[in-house]
């Protein structure tokens, strides 16, 4: 069976909403365009966007499960973002100039015993992905189905917050692609590392509640990894339906 790109997802504001795309143009050495372009710094963070910093500086799903239920729409022309959540009215705002509106809208999402959200920061150099290099996550639906079988019920793919999803491969074969070139559409990527996982995978993306021990399921394979983080080696347009070739 031919491996095929089945979905493209970006996350304009880190941990605050997901958005599906039909196609996107990748650039060498860059993240998916607009992916984790902004992030929400908490009160103990010194992050200002001038350089990449790790996820510990930001409000995120591993500490605040309610964030998992947010969806997003980005208007690239105006750089306005619309966020939706089942427990809130929609919010449309500009992250650079109206970040306080997001902080107000998100009141109650962060547990009281966690550092509270205080400001929105824009990545001036690159997106705030969880790797110290600009990465795009490549996710295998067969591996996802293996996890579903292990927990005994269906799971949303949004627990993984991945960028590119493909089908048609064997479970976990993506781990064998480290440092091998992968062609998708016009682009060539090279996976550099496996994606280690955290408690954010326990969050139900529909309800924003923790309900499944996904890390425990991964432990049964003697790891806590899902997907691979890839570097864009050659830019170009990719579209859902494109074949994926391991070079």
Cα Dmax for the chain: 49
User: Is residue 128 a contact partner of residue 152, using CB atoms and an 8 Å limit?
Assistant: no
Distance CA 103, CA 106 (A): 5
- Comparing CA positions, the residue from 160, 156, 154 lying closest to residue 138 is 160
**Torsion angle, CA of 159/165/170/176, rounded to 10 degrees?**
-90
pLDDT per position as a tens digit, 158-172: 999 999 999 999 999
Domain residue extents for the chain = 4-31+131-246, 38-122
Q: Structure tokens of 115?
A: 């550092």
Chain mean pLDDT for the chain:
97
Residue 222, both tokens: 């003697």
User: Which CATH superfamily includes the segment(s) 4-31+131-246?
Assistant: PK beta-barrel domain-like (2.40.33.20)
Write out the two tokens for 220: 């049964």
Residue tagged 């795309």 (tokens)? 21
- pLDDT at residue 1 in the model: 64
Query: Taking the C-alpha atoms of 85, 99, 164 and 124 in order, what is their torsion angle to the nearest 10 degrees?
Result: 180
Check: CB of residue 19 under 8 Å from CB of residue 9. yes
DSSP calls for 60-128: -TTT-GGGGG-EEEEETTTTEEEEEETTEEEEEE-TTT-HHHHHHHTTTTS-TTSPPEEEEEE-SSS--
The pLDDT of residue 76 is 97
Residue-level pLDDT at 202: 98
pLDDT value of position 56: 93
**Arithmetic mean of pLDDT, 114-122:** 97
pTM higher than 0.95 = yes
**pLDDT for res 129:** 96
In this prediction, residues 25-42 reach a mean pLDDT of: 98
Determine how β-strand 80-85 pairs with β-strand 19-21.
unpaired
- Phi, psi of 220, deg, nearest 5: -65, -15
Q: How far apart are CA 151 and CA 18, in angstroms?
A: 24
Question: What angle is formed at CA 76 by the lines to CA 137 and CA 239, rounded to 5 degrees?
Answer: 45
User: Mean pLDDT, to the nearest integer, of 225-238?
Assistant: 98
> Tokens in use for 134?
């600009």
Distance (Å, rounded) from C-alpha 218 to C-alpha 43?
A: 32
Rounded percentage of the chain residues whose pLDDT exceeds 70: 100
Mean pLDDT of the region 136-157: 98
Q: Is the per-residue pLDDT at 57 higher than 70?
A: yes
Mean pLDDT across 86-104: 97
């Amino acid at each position: 069976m031919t491996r095929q790109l089945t979905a493209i997802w970006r996350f304009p504001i880190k941990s605050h909403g997901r958005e599906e795309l039909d196609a996107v143009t990748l650039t060498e050495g860059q993240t998916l365009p607009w992916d984790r372009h902004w992030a929400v710094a908490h009160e103990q963070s010194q992050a200002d966007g001038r350089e990449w910093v790790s996820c510990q500086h930001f409000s995120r799903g591993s500490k605040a499960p309610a964030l998992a239920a947010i969806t997003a729409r980005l208007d690239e022309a105006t750089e306005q973002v619309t966020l939706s959540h089942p427990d809130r009215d929609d919010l449309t705002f500009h992250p650079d100039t109206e970040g306080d509106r997001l902080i107000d809208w998100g009141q109650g999402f962060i547990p009281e015993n966690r550092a509270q959200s205080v400001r929105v920061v824009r990545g001036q150099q690159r997106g705030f992905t969880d790797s110290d290099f600009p990465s795009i996550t490549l996710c295998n639906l067969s591996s996802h189905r293996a996890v579903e079988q292990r927990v005994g019920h269906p799971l949303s793919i949004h627990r993984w917050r991945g960028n590119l999803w493909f089908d048609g491969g064997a479970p976990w074969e993506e781990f064998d692609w480290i440092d091998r070139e992968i062609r998708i559409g016009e682009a060539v990527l090279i996976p550099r590392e496996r994606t280690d996982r955290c408690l954010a995978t326990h969050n139900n993306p529909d309800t924003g509640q923790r309900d499944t021990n996904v890390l425990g399921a991964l432990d049964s394979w003697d790891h806590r990894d899902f997907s691979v983080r890839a570097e864009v080696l050659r830019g170009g347009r990719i579209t859902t339906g494109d074949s994926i070739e391991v070079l």
